[in-house]
Amino acid sequence: MRLMISGGGTGGHIYPALALIEALKKREPNSEVLYVGTEKGLESRIVPDQGIAFKTIKIQGFKRSLSLENFKTIGLFLKSVSDAHKMIKEFHPDVVVGTGGYVSGAVVFAASLQRIPTVIHEQNSVVGVTNKFLSHFVTKIGISFEDARAQLPIKKVVFTGNPRATQVASIKPNDALSEYGLKTNVPTLLIFGGSRGAEKINSATVGALPQLKQKNYQVLFVTGRVHYQKIMDAINPADLGSNVVIRPYISQMPELLPNFEAILGRAGATSIAEITALGIPSILVPSPYVTNDHQTKNARSLVKKGAAELLPEVHLNTDSLIKYVDALMTDEAKRQQMGMAAKKMGRPRAADDLLNVLESVIKK
């Protein structure tokens, strides 16, 4: 298979693309892949490091308010479609896939104009602007949440789950926690606000440190690089117990995930895919700063199944954090119930299922 794939801007768009590529390489080792992104996006650092052929086009998003900058955006989009046309003619893909972000809009739209089979993948419960636009032109659409189905042309939709789940589902508990000074035989909570961190989660956790040091469970608190030094400078060393370890960032987070009894963090699509694939109970604090509040809708899909608890950021403080965390970390039966409910929602074959969709559109 010759696969051209595009997704950029955030890890939530990039990691599913990488998971799909990995599944393709396992199934068809001789496949050729070209990833199209932007120079400034996160994908420009992540994708080439994976040894994947990578090209860029220049594009930007529309301003939500009236702005002259939007005229420039229209011009860039038209040029990016033209640039994508040239890449497509040079690469001759069998199928073109978009996993989200403005860059995928230009690439997938250009492919549809050339009548090349096209597939988009929507990771969230609320369909993004780019995928809503592309849904009218593509051959098939993969979704990760059933809530997204009604927002799209239903005849094109296939429920696949998030390919990221496939990458983590096979990881087993290990002794990786010991590398961070934590015990491997003590229930452990991960507090993690995403790669850049979450200020409200961080402040609530810092306030809770004097109480957390007295608990029988342990905590790995990942602040995000941006916030780490400020937090460490502000902490009173006497408040920090030996059962709490603070780190700015963990590059190999998937390797650690099976070792946590519970997670408190955001409700992004990648996080949801990972915790359901592994069956980890969670306390979800959706970011209120994302488009259409889609993280809250993501979280509610787990809450409805008994797989997670929802703690809105507006209600998050030191007291509520301790209340929610204690209720989960001191009740093993509750954790087991929530973990089983999360596992039932997991889609460990998501990458293969999406790959099957690609093969079906090629055969047509």
CA pair distance 164, 118, nearest whole angstrom: 20
CA pair distance 248, 11, nearest whole angstrom: 18
Residue 52, annotated as binding a ligand: no
Residue 336, annotated as binding a ligand: no
Residue 37, annotated as binding a ligand: no
3-class state of residue 282 by DSSP: strand
Residue that the structure tokens 């963090």 belong to: 265
Q: Cα–Cα distances in Å, from 23 out to 78, 273, 300, 352?
A: 32, 16, 29, 6
- Residue 230's identity, in one-letter code, is K
3-class state of residue 157 by DSSP: strand
242: exposed, middle or buried (C-beta count within 10 Å: 0-12, 13-18, 19+)? exposed
Whether residue 35 contacts residue 6, with contact meaning beta carbons closer than 8 Å, is answered with: yes
Residue 118, annotated as binding a ligand: no
Residue 100, annotated as binding a ligand: no
| Closest to 224 in 3D by CA, of 255, 194, 246, 179 | 194
Residue 101, annotated as binding a ligand: no
CA pair distance 182, 65, nearest whole angstrom: 48
Whether residue 36 contacts residue 59, with contact meaning beta carbons closer than 8 Å, is answered with: no
Cα angle 119, 358, 26 (rounded to 5 degrees) comes to 130
Residue 271, annotated as binding a ligand: no
Whether residue 53 contacts residue 33, with contact meaning beta carbons closer than 8 Å, is answered with: yes
Q: Tell me 143's DSSP state.
A: E
Question: Binding site for UDP-N-acetyl-alpha-D-glucosamine: which residues?
Answer: 10-12, 124, 195, 250, 295
**Which residues are known binding-site members?**
10-12, 124, 195, 250, 295
